[in-house]
Structure 1
Amino acid sequence: MPAAIALTVVLALVAVFQLALVFGAPLGRFAWGGAHRVLPARLRVGSAVSIVIYAVIALLALDRVGAVDVVPDVVSVVGMWVVFGYFVLGIALNAISRSKPERAVMTPVTAVLAVLSLFVALS
């Protein structure tokens, strides 16, 4: 359960960051390749979709450890392995970003998310 709670907390923090991007915060150098100080509309939509994805991941993690019961067990088991793969891919994508701030900040954040999702998947 601690890994699922930690994963949910980190996802909530990243969701707040994405929400700031949706509302035009000049933090674009940390996301989406870092090409924009303020994200254009299409990337703001991407940030909004990311928030929904983070909520689904948090729900899967909490379901996997038994804190909630909203999906069949097989969905949370397989889903958490998919989430782990998603974050491993995210590590690679953040690590090759042209944006130095994105590489410096988001690569370690995504690595933490990957490790936490692995712990939840293994639970």
Structure 2
Amino acid sequence: MAMIAAAVAVALLSALAALQICVAAGAPWGRLVWGGAHRVLPARLRIGSAVSVLLYAAFAWLLLARAGVLPGSDLPLVTAATWVLFAYFTVGILMNLVSRSVPERLAMTPVCVVLAAATLLVALD
């Protein structure tokens, strides 16, 4: 079950990374990210989007390691970091629920719910 949950999470993280790459490059989808205040992101948020792609890659590595796809599943740091990631996604649910941007709220809240659930399944394994 952990491998399937990790695969779902990695697929969503990949989609989010693609979105962040697009908005960092100037695509007019800024209403879906960073609070939704900008249709096209300003330079500082474009940099934030580029950095978030690196974070998503680290999240994917962590989940794949914890699920046993990559080495390190039994390392205490990997186990603890997976629980921290679960908490992060859980907070993300709340943050997206209160977003002033309706597109962000409607699109990203369910994404965070699935990411939190998948991360919980990986963490529990």
TM-score w.r.t. structure 1 length? 0.96
1:120 and 2:122 aligned: yes
Secondary structure of the 1:24 match is coil
Of 9, 13, 16, the match for 1:14:
16
> In the TM superposition, what is the alpha-carbon distance from 1:66 to its structure 2 partner?
1.2
- Which amino acid is the alignment partner of residue 77 of structure 1? T
1:93-112 alignment, distance < 5 Å? 93-112=95-114
- 1:5, distance to aligned residue in structure 2 (A): 1.2
1:1-123 matched pairs, under 5 angstroms: 1-69=3-71, 73-123=75-125
Q: 1:71 to 1:48 in 2, by over 3 A?
A: farther
RMSD of equivalent CA atoms: 1.2
Q: CA deviation at 1:74?
A: 0.9
Aligned residues between the structures: 123
CA distance in 2 between partners of 1:13 and 1:39 (Å): 18
Shift of 1:112: 0.7
Deviations 1:8-45 (A, max 9, x none): 11100110011101100000111111110000011011
- Distance in 1, matches of 2:88 and 2:115, equals 10
- TM-score, reference length from structure 2: 0.94
Distance 1:69 1:43 in 2: 34
1:77-121 deviations in Å (ceiling 9; x for gaps): 001100000000111111111101111111111111111111111
Instruction: Structure 2: give runs of 5+ residues left out of the alignment.
Output: none
Which of structure 1's runs of 4+ aligned residues deviate more than 3 A?
A: none
Q: What percentage of aligned pairs have identical amino acids?
A: 50
